[in-house]
Amino acid sequence: MELNHQLPKAAKCQPAEVKLEAGKTYSWCTCGLSDKQPFCDGKHKATWYEENGTTVMPYRSLKINAEKDETVWLCQCKHTKNPPFCDGSHKLEEVQAKHRNQQSEEI
């Protein structure tokens, strides 16, 4: 649960340019812990906790079903208001400060 207070982690303060292929499904990382940014590598499974006898999983990957071949900019700071796409939120000082602090703490 302590880990969750620091999430989502601002993995990188810049978007990733990604070429999506029509018909493929991609899993976008929502927690910021993945080492395969901007995609999920399953590390969100460490965020589970129990509450009133129920297992809660606060983070899960977000599926992207590509309907056509296209190049998109996927968020890596995990603070976009338009997930999974970058909306420029990575430029906010609070997001950049979070990224700097998390890099020094290495969560």
**Residues engaged in binding ligand FES (CB under 6 A):** 14-15, 75-77, 79-80, 86-90
Cα atoms in the 13 Å half-sphere on the side-chain side of 91: 3
CB of 3 to ligand FES, least distance (A): 20
Judged by beta carbon, residue 37 or residue 47, the one nearer ligand FES is 37
CB of 88 to ligand FES, least distance (A): 6
CB of 32 to ligand FES, least distance (A): 10
* DSSP-derived secondary structure letter, 23: T
